[in-house]
Amino acid sequence: MKTSSLLVLAFILSIPSINAQTISEWREENRTGVSSETGLLKSWPENGPDLVWMSKDLPKGNSSVSFSNNTLFLTGTRETNDILVAIDSVGVIKWQTPYGRAWNESFPESRCTPTVEGDRVYVSSGLGDLACVDAISGTIVWSLKASEIYKGTFGPWGIAESLLLDGEKLYYTPGGNKTTTIALEKSTGKLLWKTESLNDIPGYVSPILIENDGKKLLVNVSGTYVFAVDVSNGTIVWKINHVDIYTPTQLASKGNEATIKCVTPLYHEGRVYVTSGYNQGGVMLQITNAGNNASIVWTDSVLDVHHGGAVLVNGFIYGSNWLNNSNGNWICLDWNTGKKMYDEKWKCKGSLIAAEEMLYIYDEKTGYVGLVKAQPEKFEVISSFKITEGTGPHWMHPVIHKEKLYIRHGIALMAYDIKEK
Q: Dump the DSSP string for 263-305.
A: ---EEETTEEEEEETTTTEEEEEEEETTTTEEEEEEEESS---
pLDDT of 218 reads: 98
β-pairing, 34-35 vs 350-355, is parallel
Provide the residue ranges of all domains of the chain, joining segments of one domain with +.
33-417
Are the CB atoms for 169 and 157 separated by under 8 Å? no
The 10s digit of each residue's pLDDT in 340-387 is 999 999 999 999 999 999 999 999 999 999 999 999 999 999 999 999
pLDDT of 385 reads: 98
The 10s digit of each residue's pLDDT in 65-108 is 999 999 999 999 999 999 999 999 999 999 999 999 999 999 99
| CA dihedral of 95, 101, 104, 110, whole degrees rounded to 10 | -40
> At a CB cut-off of 8 Å and minimum separation 6, what does 72 contact?
65, 66, 86, 87, 89, 401, 406
**Polymer length of the chain:** 421
β-pairing, 330-334 vs 340-344, is antiparallel
pLDDT of 417 reads: 98
Measured in degrees and rounded to the nearest 5, phi and psi for residue 30 equal: 55, 25
66 half-sphere exposure, CB direction, 13 A CA radius: 29
* pLDDT confidence band for 242 (50 / 70 / 90): confident
Q: How far apart are CA 61 and CA 411, in angstroms?
A: 7
* pLDDT at residue 2 is higher than 70: no
pLDDT of 16 reads: 39
Find the angle CA(205)-CA(319)-CA(297) to the nearest 5 degrees: 75
pLDDT of 254 reads: 58
Are the CB atoms for 58 and 65 separated by under 8 Å? no
* pLDDT confidence band for 4 (50 / 70 / 90): very low
Are the CB atoms for 415 and 405 separated by under 8 Å? yes
Q: How far apart are CA 360 and CA 313, in angstroms?
A: 13
Among the four given CATH numbers 3.65.10.10, 2.130.10.10, 1.10.3720.10, 2.40.100.10, the one describing domain 33-417: 2.130.10.10
Are the CB atoms for 123 and 129 separated by under 8 Å? no
The 10s digit of each residue's pLDDT in 374-420 is 999 999 999 999 999 999 999 999 999 999 999 999 999 999 999 99
What DSSP element (H or E) covers 4? helix 3-14
Measured in degrees and rounded to the nearest 5, phi and psi for residue 314 equal: 50, 45
Q: Burial letters for 21-35: b for 16+ Cβ neighbours within 10 Å, e otherwise?
A: eebbbbbbeebbbbb
What DSSP element (H or E) covers 21? none
* pLDDT confidence band for 259 (50 / 70 / 90): confident
403 half-sphere exposure, CB direction, 13 A CA radius: 12
Find the angle CA(98)-CA(164)-CA(332) to the nearest 5 degrees: 110
pLDDT of 256 reads: 65
Q: Which of 150, 169, 172, 68 is nearest to 116 (CA)?
A: 68
388 half-sphere exposure, CB direction, 13 A CA radius: 4
pLDDT of 249 reads: 52
The 10s digit of each residue's pLDDT in 119-157 is 999 999 999 999 999 999 999 999 999 999 999 999 999
**pLDDT (mean) for 30-50:** 97
Helix (H, G, I), strand (E, B) or coil at 148: helix
Q: How far apart are CA 100 and CA 4, in angstroms?
A: 49
* pLDDT at residue 250 is higher than 80: no
